[in-house]
Amino acid sequence: MPVGRSRSTFSQTIRPWIELSRLPKFAGTMVLFWPFAWSLTMLARSEHMPLYTFVAYLVTGFIGASLLHSAGCIWNDILDRDFDRQVERTKHRPIADGRISVQGALVFLAIHLSILTMMVWDLNPLAWKLGIISIFVLPGIYPLMKRVTYWPQAWLGLAMNCGVPMAAASVTGEITKQALILSVGCWAWTMWYDTIYACQDMRDDVKAGVKSTALLFAQYTKPILSIFGVMLLGSLALCGVLIEAGIPYWTVSVACAAWLLTRELIQVDIMNPASCWQTFHRNGFTFGGVVFAGLMADYVASERGSLLSAY
């Protein structure tokens, strides 16, 4: 077989699996990773964590978030295959259009779950329990919620942000006060970005019988989103007080974040799917990265003496 044809055949074979795991749409992984990264960086500052330890935790968390996001998407697509066929944006997903069988997807899911389970196996008891809940329970139930309630995003907020208490439990063996406060803010952030995300499919969701906060809030979506934005910023401010954050945190993670959310609320057109997707994408990269940048700068500034002495 010619080399070019062989490469083409391999590409056609692997492409559906890449689509199923959502690797090309990395914003979903990032909104799962950032809450863990924020929580970890706050702990690194308050616990005076060595840089190499912080980086090791951060890399592990990123790998875990990538696998967990892919696993959640696979499970969601298995359960929602009939709904997906009725929605313009999702009708060509690989299970919905028949390129991947349910049996094959289940095997692929099992591989992801096995790796994730091994990653949390040796953690302390509290972190291990939180890990199992975040891998199996919360994302396992989420796809069913859109069938029974207009608040599936509220459950998703629990699933997406389990990394906040997980980081605290892994480092300290307990769920700290700042982790609890940040968890509330991150839950509100999920309500913010996933309501906007759900606005892409409102017309098709009505036909398919899928429920969401986008349909529930309707013409009041933006005013309600502003409440969630205030909750997020309020939690970031309270955490800043608890960790005695410095100027980089207040300037970047709080003030710049407030400006970004305000701009998003003004600019997003919830009736325009392209605008909704772009806003969701900015949350995954720009907003999450800005909050992390302020936290990271504050951590480095507070530990610059010990960090310099380590090298």
Domain segments of the chain as ranges: 7-301
pLDDT of 304 higher than 60: yes
The pLDDT value given to residue 258: 98
- Could you give the percent of the chain with pLDDT greater than 70? 95
Amino acid letter for position 65: A
DSSP label of 135: I
Nearest 5°: the CA angle 287, 231, 251 is 50
Instruction: In whole angstroms, give the CA distance from residue 266 to residue 257.
Output: 14
Could you identify the residue written with the tokens 């900015």?
282
Q: Is the pLDDT of residue 150 over 90?
A: yes
Q: Please give the average per-residue pLDDT across 277-300, as a whole number.
A: 97
Q: Count Cβ atoms within 10 A of the Cβ of residue 258 and give its class: 0-12 exposed, 13-18 middle, 19 or more buried.
A: middle
Mean of the per-residue pLDDT values of the chain: 94
The pLDDT tens digits for 9-53 are 777 889 999 999 998 889 999 999 999 999 999 999 999 999 999
pTM to 2 decimals? Answer: 0.94
Q: Is the pLDDT of residue 5 over 60?
A: no
Q: What confidence tens digit (pLDDT) does each residue in 250-283 have?
A: 999 999 999 999 999 999 999 999 999 999 999 9
Query: Which amino acid, one-letter code, is at 165?
Result: P
Token pair, residue 127, equals 């972190």
**Tokens at residue 249, please?**
């945190």
For residue range 81-103, list pLDDT tens digits in order.
999 999 889 999 999 999 999 99
Instruction: Supply the pLDDT for residue 25.
Output: 84
How do residues 204-219 score in pLDDT, each as one tens digit?
A: 999 888 999 999 999 9
pLDDT at residue number 189 = 98
Q: Which whole number is the average pLDDT over 150-162?
A: 98
> Which of 25-28's residues contact partners 24+ apart within 8 Å by CB, and which partners?
26/284, 27/280, 27/281, 27/283, 27/284, 27/285, 28/69, 28/73, 28/284
Does 197 score more than 80 pLDDT?
yes
Q: What is the mean pLDDT of residues 162-189?
A: 97
* Domain 7-301 class, CATH top level: mainly alpha
Longest CA–CA span in the chain (Å) reads: 65
- Confidence band, pLDDT 50/70/90 cuts, at residue 109: very high
Distances (CA, A) of 179 to 38, 185, 194: 10, 10, 22
